[in-house]
Chain A
């Protein structure tokens, strides 16, 4: 309400010429906002739509499942899509447990105190690390110091560090959304804090939690800078390209898009790049839709709320 008190003298008397000029300003500003917003949003959507159209011609069953070629046209991105999912799953395996536990701790247990402040500050600082710098950290630790060289697991661990803060924030928000009455009722029935958190609060929050996890997964799927120097950027050929060994190198789709342009060793670079871009865009859409749908379903299932 303090803002209103500050604004009042400026708002002032609604009389005579002062009022008219203020109304004109209002109308101009409104028009400007309408024009600017429509233009920008339209441009953004056109930008993306154009890429859809450009990439559509590249899409075929062979493109999506076939292997890249060594210098000839007609290669596919099958192994790259496989690697993207593989690294995503590895990353989630590490990120979700750690972040959810940390989020639970900060939200439910630590009421104040220095440890909580330190953890919160660390998480905020971790979130400011640029992805390329995180990739270099991964290079120093996993590739060099551990002597693993380029590995899928090195990439996954680097991505874990990159996404821990986001995942923790998702957990905290999901837990905060659970009404206090749930906690009180549970404790009133004699449950310990841990039993309350595990059996009452977590299930109620599972909807928003899942939505958040899937959305962050979408971002992990598209990550590039942190993976180039940890999981590597090299293509393998033939059947052995579909490789489940986490200690081998793994080029993902996003990294592959960058590399295919950078190396330009096949004659149909544009076709492959546009096709890859389209697949990435579609995956972002899919992750978004799944996040919402699954989140809503889980909320209904576990809390009975619509």
Chain B
């Protein structure tokens, strides 16, 4: 009897292993397929329509139906908006994370933690709607412009979107640092600020870096919130207060319009592929660099 049950158990074990491994394999197949499909369709503009990659990456004239696919305005727009989001939201998020972890009274911190977590979950379309209806008119009023669309609005909205994530994860990273560090530093005569900047932050640096990376990831890939406040003018932006465009917003606006098989559609896929490469490349590079440091 025991032998029969043991055999069944062993057979179950083997079936389980196959099932689990196949499920894990799904991840590998998925990313391979995604890269494959997007690479194929994304480079079709170059080997199929014989459009020059240089003209695509650096050209400034975008006319979808006219055959001119200079994507520089969008690339620049994406980079500037994301850059602003990181420069504003990154340090600010870490600082507030520090605040909640080290400075705020325990009760205040624990009361706000769930609030911050809710903020992390708010859909981007809601942030976009708020940006469109509150921020853009505010910018128009403050700067005496007829219209407040532009990179400033996009940068601010993106910063606001990544703040809760950066705050929450930085706070978590700092909490993990053992109290002995804080006590030891104080015993050596450091002020609290010095403890924070010279001991705790370096100690939690990998966790904080992850927080900032996730913020960057969200900012680069953000589509809707950006489309609603950028103004969608396919020009090279000369000011933060002019309507501009980004890779994500252009794709979502025109993907439905471009006829199948046209150069226009291929150009949009090329932009999507570029976006994928930037996003993937940036994040994997940073992760790799971090792993080497520790």
Interface residues of A (CB under 8 A from B): 1, 3-4, 6-8, 10-14, 22-23, 25-26, 29-30, 33-34, 36-37, 40-41, 44-45, 47-48, 50-51, 97-99, 101-102, 104-106, 109-110, 115, 118-119, 122-134, 136-137, 139-141, 144, 161, 164-165, 168, 192-195, 197-198, 215, 218-219, 221-225, 228-229, 254-255, 257-258, 261, 270, 273, 277, 280-281, 284-285, 287-288, 292
Contacts and interface: CB of A to CB of B under 8 A. Distances in A.
A37 B100 contact: yes
17 contacts: A1-B181, A11-B198, A13-B189, A33-B96, A33-B99, A36-B99, A101-B19, A102-B27, A109-B20, A124-B287, A125-B31, A126-B31, A133-B275, A161-B34, A225-B252, A229-B255, A277-B126
A122 B30 contact: yes
Given A44-B160, A229-B255, 11 more contacts: A7-B199, A22-B191, A36-B92, A48-B119, A122-B31, A194-B12, A221-B123, A222-B121, A224-B224, A254-B125, A261-B228
Contacts of A10: 194, 198
A136 B258 CA distance: 13
Contacts of B191: 22-23, 25-26
Nearest to A118: B28
B184 interface: yes
Contacts of B38: 133, 136-137
Given A139-B255, A222-B123, A285-B118, A4 B27 contact: no
B129 interface: yes
Interface in B118-133: 118-119, 121-126, 128-130, 132-133
Contacts of A109: 17, 20
A261 B221 contact: no
B124 A224 contact: yes
B121 A37 contact: no
B30 to A, nearest CB: 6
A51 B130 contact: yes
Interface in B274-290: 275-276, 279-280, 283-284, 287
B279 A47 contact: no
Contacts of B228: 258, 261
B258 to A, nearest CB: 12
By size class, the interface of chain B is 35 or more
B114 interface: yes
A46 to B, nearest CB: 10
B112 interface: yes
A33 B27 CA distance: 42
A27 B287 CA distance: 35
A192 B163 contact: no
Contact of A284 (B104, B121, B256): B121
A137 B223 CA distance: 15
A36 B23 contact: no
